[in-house]
Amino acid sequence: MITAPLALAVALGLAGCSSSEEDATAAAAEPTTRTVPTNLGEVEVPAEPVRVAALDNTSFATLKAMGVEPVAVPKDLLPATGYEDWAADEAIADVGTHRDPDFEALNAAEPDLIVGGYRFADHYDELTQIAPTIDVAPSADAEGGFVQALETQTRTLGEVLGASDVAQELVDALQAAEQEAADATGTETVFLASLTGGHVDNGTSRLAPLLEPLELRNVLPTQDEATAVHNDSGLAPETIAQLNPDWMILMDRDAAVGTEGAQAAQQVVADQQAWARTTFVTQDQIVYLPSDFYVTEGIQTYTAVYEQIADAFSAA
């Protein structure tokens, strides 16, 4: 005969076993991976990535906002401010730059997800040999353009990292800033400029995406690779003086990469005698982009720049 206390104990034991089995079954049923759309098609990634390698500089600020502490980054590509913790942390592997990547260091960091693309786009095949790699970097060639691609990048990272609420906040802020800039601007002409090696040159290849949601008219054509911001296109100051744009939007690449002995952008512009009578100089209609624009270019940067454009045009 089984006594009442013994029967109760057996029942509780069986119930406990049943509960444990159900928990185990439920855990086993949860997917360990998910498939996400990327610039290169669908990619299977961990459902809950823990060890993230951050290689795409356009995503650095977003990954930070989503609470990611990367296991590997290209430390020489980190902006001078805002990432001192990543740069100083010896536990975060330095994987070199896109020009000289250290794949061994990246492999040793044992990432379970690599956020690649942009400057590291050419190394996609090598990266996939180390860990699942996603290229969700923005591109002017993307459907809808670069700015729309920033939103897509942000939403995808939010999905992958379980931070969709953060992603939505970032997208909302960008859209609000875009609208503010669109309301403040019209069809004024603009010189999209880049300061490289002490020379103010055509910056269209890097800055044209800024104009996508605006009606501002660029006075210079889009550049090909041979005359991109890394090179001297031979643009003469007198050419810009003749075009006489209403505004100049200037990216200081020298400041972003720490060019030795570089002058401040404002001084370089002031020294251009050919521009003394141009509208953008006489009316003080120059927007100097954040000094780290060239090494950020993410959704937060574009949001800040649209706010800056809105303020400058509204005050003119």
Q: Which domains does the chain have, with CATH numbers?
A: 33-162 (3.40.50.1980), 186-315 (3.40.50.1980)
pLDDT score, position 258: 86
pLDDT score, position 225: 47
Q: What is the mean pLDDT of each run of 10 residues along the chain (316 residues)?
A: 49 53 54 94 97 97 98 95 96 96 98 96 97 96 95 98 98 98 98 94 94 97 55 85 98 90 92 97 97 95 98 97
Six-digit token string for 188: 């004024």
Report the predicted TM-score, pTM, of the whole model to 2 decimal places: 0.88
Does residue 188 sit in helix, strand or coil? coil
Does residue 41 sit in helix, strand or coil? strand
pLDDT score, position 160: 97
Tell the residue number behind the tokens 């939010």, with chain if given.
158
pLDDT score, position 228: 53
* CA 132 to each of CA 57, 104, 219: distance values in angstroms, whole numbers, following the listed order: 18, 16, 43
How many helices, marked H, and strands, marked E, lie in the chain? 13, 12
Alpha helices in the chain (DSSP H): 4-29, 60-65, 84-88, 103-108, 124-128, 146-160, 164-184, 204-207, 237-243, 253-257, 265-270, 279-282, 299-315
